[in-house]
Structures are given as C-alpha cells and as structure tokens.
C-alpha cells in the first residue's frame, strides 16, 4: 500500500517540477512575449496538482495508511501525516479557485516587477488588492472561522503563533533599542570598500567562486539573474539561485549570493534517504532562513572568511586588489539605518522585518486600504530607523514577497537570525572559535557540523524541537542580542 502512495507522489512531483521550472524561468530568463503562455501552463499544472491532492481516492489511501502505520519508519509516517493534514485542509478549496489563485500569483509578480522598475506603486496597488482578497478567501476555505493571519502562519508551520512572535519580537526590539539609538541619524562612516566597482560579468564569476567555496554543488544546481535574489528547488537534484548582479554594491552582491547559497546548501545536504518523503520537503521557512543567514552573516561578515581566498578573488576581480582587512571588516560589520531591507546590516535588519510583520497584521486584521500602505511603510521606516525611503521602489515596492503571496514569511528572516545566535554558541562549544576555523579555511568542518546537526534532518523537526534537541534551550533572542553586543565596539 505504501508503494501505491509513493507512485502517486512521484506523479505529483512531475507536475510540481514543471511549475517550478516555469516559475524560475519567469523570474530569470523568460522572453516577455512567452509569459502569457507560461501563466496558462502554470494554471493548468496547478489545477492538475490540486485535483490529485484533493482526490477522495488519495484521501482514502492516506486514511488507510494512517490507520495501519506500524510497519512504517518515522519519515514515512511523517509523510502520511503531512499529506493527510494537507488533504483535510485543502479538500474544501474549489479547484477552479486554486488554479486562478496560482495564476494570479504569477501575474502579480510580473506586475510588481514592472511597478518597481517604473517606481509606480499605483500601478501595482489593484493587483495587490486582488491578491489580498483572494488570500483571505483561500484562508477561509482552508481554516474556516480562523483569524486569517494566524492561518497564514500555520501554513508556514513555524510551530509558533502570533502571540509567540509578539513576545519574541518585543524582546528583540527592547534588546537592540540601545544599538539603534547609537546610530540613528548619524552619518555612515565610509571606507575604501565603498568605492569598489565591478561589472555584472565579473560579479557572476565572483559569485560562482564564492558559491563553490562555501560548498554549493554545481552538478546539482545553477545560477541566474533576476530583479530579486532567491533560491528555487526544481527537484532534489536541481537547486537554482538567482541574484541581482547589477545596480548595487558588489560586496552586497557577494553577500546575497552567499545568502542564497545557504538556502541551496540546506536542500543539497538533506539525507538522501528522505528523497520522495516529507523530510525532503523543506517546509520550515524559519529554519531555511536560519541556514541562509548563518552563511551570510554569522560566517561571511567575518573578515576571517575572506582572508583565505583574498588572492583568488583578486585574480577574478582586479578591483578587489588593495582592499585592506580593516576596511573590509568595517564595511561588513558597520551598522547604519538604511532604506533597503536586503542591503541592511544584520542588526538594523531586525527592524525591517518587525515593521513588515506589523504591516501584514494591519493588512489582515485592520481596515487598511492598499492605497495607504506606501505611506504607512514610509512612516514606520521613519519611526523605527529614522529614515524615509527616497521613492516607492526603495520603499513599499522593494520586496517581491506580497506579490508572491508570501504573507507571514517575513518573520522567518528574524526567527532565522535568532536561531543563528543559538547555533553559533553551540558550534563554538563543539568546535571552538569559529573565526579561527574560517581563517584556517575549514569550511568543510563547519559544513559537516551544519549537515550533521541541522541540514541532514531536512524538515523532520520544526524549529522549536530542533533548537531544543540541539541546544537544550527554548527559542530566545538572548544569544542574538549577545552576538550584536559583541559587535557594538566596531561602530565607534
């Protein structure tokens, strides 16, 4: 009977693969005139997936397996449990609505990309309004009678509720308030690194070198260019990264590549015995973000990460020659209140996430019109960070998440940083000074620790369970605040 289930899931995976491929293509390489056909194809395959996943025969098979699961291993039991949970959630969603929802998402992404390029929120607002309304309707089908935002958090399976996030994020706001007061309104101290330049062609080479250095397997992955950096899983042996190689500081391009590489490394290092089973589906976005942010911030913001590969980088990137370690260290670790989330330092980044979380609560719990959101966004930026976005492209339009119906996802970034503080303290206990490991070019040792303790498990455990198993502690921002405090002296 489990073989019948596996065959059914394999068929589903083929449909998912087609959608994943077309979605990546739309974000990275698709010709403009090919888009409408791809939207139609995505709607078709999405509808087929939905019919298969909500077919009563599939539900009957799941109930039978769930009732006689004694002979199944833990990963197999989890697979049945998750699919049954999904079946019971989505059985009430009309198939035609789900197909339209998938198409709306793809079109909304394209509308956002044009609006951002043209600095025109007004052209995006109607699509966003439809997006929000359809998301509310969808949540009503999946979680009848439940608060919409709590329902959205449930879809991301954090193992945490809104009240948990409120408590944890309050601890973050209180903990970093003195650090933000240190820098709010102060001029950013420039370094020679600010003057670095590089062509997109050079940055592609640098990006690929850094990805290889941190362990990305190019035999099971590739890269592309897009307005917004992201990683996409086509299938277990095809993990793709896109990055914006132009129009921003080259070191920001590097950090973005390392961030997305962290996502990809998580997928590439799941225990291969889980392929085709639930743990290989990395549904816990907070753990996913902890893996990307650990690589980007906990590791790559140390000058010790860069020194062992300095000569290699200079050979690829001539402009990098002459960069002094002290300048690089200050550039990577300086704090400054800035307008763009993806270019923010790791400390002020926390407030970028909290303000977006608060706006999402307003979207789904308040009576806020989409026409007000741009001003609300700018007002919160001024309130929390003392800066006002210079235009809408650098304000409300800077992120693709809402166009992609990734509501409830923003908290995962901050949760990831919180977990990273706890990982770092545990890794230091187990392996010693991480900066020394980096200086000695021991990335494989670091990756082995991450693989053993986190990546290999895939999504076998949610974050609170994973953290408890690894550290013996409950989720807390204390370790992250200690990490930031250790860097406070660099801001002088």
Assigned token pair, 265: 């490394």
> How far is Cα of residue 239 from the mean position of the Cα atoms in its chain?
14
Alpha helices in 294-398 (DSSP H): 303-306, 310-316, 325-333, 349-365, 370-385
* Predicted local confidence at residue 185, as pLDDT: 81
- What proportion of the chain, given as a percentage, has pLDDT over 90? 84
Q: Which residue has the tokens 């109607």?
A: 126
Indicate the range of 136-145, 215-224, 439-448, 481-490 predicted with least confidence: 481-490
pLDDT band at residue 123 using 50, 70 and 90 as cut-offs: very high
- Report the pLDDT averaged over residues 295-304: 97
pLDDT exceeds 60 at position 471: yes
Instruction: Tell me if the domain spanning 162-491 has CATH number 1.20.58.100.
Output: no
Length of the chain: 492
224: helix, coil or strand?
A: strand
- Report the pLDDT averaged over residues 192-200: 93
* Predicted local confidence at residue 125, as pLDDT: 97
Strand 221-225 and strand 238-243: the pairing is parallel
Q: Which residue has the tokens 């998912």?
A: 16
pLDDT exceeds 80 at position 158: no
Query: Taking Cα atoms as reference points, which of 95, 80, 8 lies closest to residue 50?
Result: 95
pLDDT exceeds 90 at position 98: no
Q: What is the DSSP secondary structure assignment for residue 55, as one 8-state letter?
A: -
Q: Confirm if 239 and 267 have CB atoms less than 8 A apart.
A: yes
Q: What is the pLDDT of residues 175-187, one digit of tens each?
A: 999 999 999 888 8
Q: Confirm if 176 and 481 have CB atoms less than 8 A apart.
A: yes
Task: Please give the residue that has the higher pLDDT: either 63 or 103.
Answer: 63
> How far is Cα of residue 246 from the mean position of the Cα atoms in its chain?
21
pLDDT, averaged across the chain = 93
* Predicted local confidence at residue 248, as pLDDT: 87
Q: Confirm if 192 and 323 have CB atoms less than 8 A apart.
A: yes
- Report the pLDDT averaged over residues 49-69: 93
Assigned token pair, 34: 């090919």
Q: What is the pLDDT of residues 13-27, one digit of tens each?
A: 999 999 999 988 888
Domain ranges of the chain: 2-146, 162-491
Q: What is the pLDDT of residues 371-404, one digit of tens each?
A: 999 999 999 999 999 999 999 999 999 999 999 9
Q: Confirm if 11 and 57 have CB atoms less than 8 A apart.
A: no
Query: Taking Cα atoms as reference points, which of 424, 73, 150, 454 lies closest to residue 284?
Result: 454
Tell me how many degrees the CA angle 382-385-388 measures, rounded to the nearest 5: 40
- Report the pLDDT averaged over residues 412-438: 97
Residue 345: HSE in the Cβ half-sphere, 13 Å Cα cutoff: 25
Residue partners of 310: CB distance under 8 A and separation at least 6: 320, 323
Report the alpha-carbon distance of residue 351 to residue 354 in Å, rounded. Answer: 5
Straight-line distance from the first to the last Cα atom of the chain, in angstroms, rounded to the nearest whole number = 65
- Global pTM? 0.91
pLDDT exceeds 60 at position 241: yes
Report the alpha-carbon distance of residue 348 to residue 484 in Å, rounded. Answer: 10
Residue partners of 326: CB distance under 8 A and separation at least 6: none
- Report the pLDDT averaged over residues 200-208: 95
pLDDT band at residue 492 using 50, 70 and 90 as cut-offs: low
Report the alpha-carbon distance of residue 356 to residue 294 in Å, rounded. Answer: 21
Assigned token pair, 460: 């076998």
pLDDT exceeds 70 at position 479: yes
Report the alpha-carbon distance of residue 107 to residue 88 in Å, rounded. Answer: 28
Residue partners of 66: CB distance under 8 A and separation at least 6: 80, 81, 84
Q: Which residue has the tokens 């949540």?
A: 139
Computed over its alpha carbons, how large is the radius of gyration of the chain?
22
Asked if domains 2-146 and 162-491 share a fold, the reply is no
* Predicted local confidence at residue 189, as pLDDT: 82
* Predicted local confidence at residue 200, as pLDDT: 92
Fold (topology level) of 2-146: Methane Monooxygenase Hydroxylase; Chain G, domain 1 (1.20.58)
- Residue positions annotated with a catalytic role: 260
Report the alpha-carbon distance of residue 69 to residue 76 in Å, rounded. Answer: 9
Task: Please give the residue that has the higher pLDDT: either 27 or 127.
Answer: 127
Q: Confirm if 373 and 205 have CB atoms less than 8 A apart.
A: no
């Amino acid at each position: 009977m489990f073989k019948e289930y596996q065959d059914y899931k394999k068929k589903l995976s083929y449909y998912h693969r087609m959608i994943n491929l077309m979605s990546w293509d739309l974000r990275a390489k698709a010709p403009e005139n090919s888009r409408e056909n791809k939207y139609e194809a995505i709607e078709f395959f999405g509808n087929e997936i939905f019919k298969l996943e909500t077919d009563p025969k599939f539900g009957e098979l799941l109930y039978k397996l769930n009732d006689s699961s004694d002979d199944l291993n833990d990963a197999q039991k989890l697979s049945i449990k998750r699919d049954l949970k999904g079946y019971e959630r989505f059985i009430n969603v009309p198939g035609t609505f789900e197909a339209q929802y998938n198409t709306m998402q793809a079109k909304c992404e394209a509308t956002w990309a044009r609006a951002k390029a043209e600095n025109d929120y007004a052209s995006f607002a109607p699509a966003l309004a439809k997006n929000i309304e359809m998301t509310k309707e969808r949540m009503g089908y999946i979680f009848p009678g439940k608060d919409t935002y709590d329902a959205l958090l449930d879809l991301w399976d954090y193992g945490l509720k809104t009240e948990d996030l409120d408590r944890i994020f309050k601890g973050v706001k209180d903990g970093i308030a003195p650090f933000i007061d240190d820098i709010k309104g102060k001029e950013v101290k420039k370094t020679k690194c600010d003057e670095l330049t590089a062509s997109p062609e050079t940055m592609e080479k640098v990006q690929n070198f850094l990805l290889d250095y941190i362990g990305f397997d190019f035999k099971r992955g590739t890269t592309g260019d897009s307005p917004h950096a992201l990683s996409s899983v086509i299938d277990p042996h095809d993990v793709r990264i896109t990055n914006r190689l132009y129009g921003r500081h080259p070191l920001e391009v590097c950090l973005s590549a390392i961030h997305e590489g962290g996502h990809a490394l998580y997928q590439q290092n799941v225990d291969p015995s889980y392929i085709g089973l639930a743990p290989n589906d990395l549904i816990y976005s907070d753990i996913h973000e902890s893996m990307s942010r650990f690589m980007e911030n906990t590791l790559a913001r140390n000058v010790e990460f860069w020194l062992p590969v300095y000569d290699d980088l200079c050979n690829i990137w001539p402009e990098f020659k002459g960069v002094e370690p002290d300048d690089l260290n200050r550039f990577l670790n300086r704090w400054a209140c800035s307008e763009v989330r993806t270019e923010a330092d790791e400390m002020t980044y926390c407030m970028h996430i909290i303000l977006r979380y608060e706006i999402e609560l307003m979207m789904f719990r308040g009576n806020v019109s989409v026409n007000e959101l741009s001003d609300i966004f700018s007002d919160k930026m001024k309130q929390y960070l003392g800066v006002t976005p210079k235009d809408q492209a650098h304000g409300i339009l800077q992120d693709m998440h809402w166009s992609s119906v990734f509501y409830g996802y923003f908290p995962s970034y901050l949760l990831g940083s919180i977990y990273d503080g706890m990982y770092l303290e545990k890794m230091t206990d187990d392996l010693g000074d991480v900066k020394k490991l980096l200086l000695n070019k021991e990335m494989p040792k670091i990756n082995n620790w991450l693989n053993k303790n986190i990546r290999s498990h895939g999504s076998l455990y949610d974050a609170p369970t994973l953290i408890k198993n690894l550290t013996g502690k409950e989720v807390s921002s204390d370790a992250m605040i200690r990490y930031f405090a250790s860097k406070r002296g660099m801001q002088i």
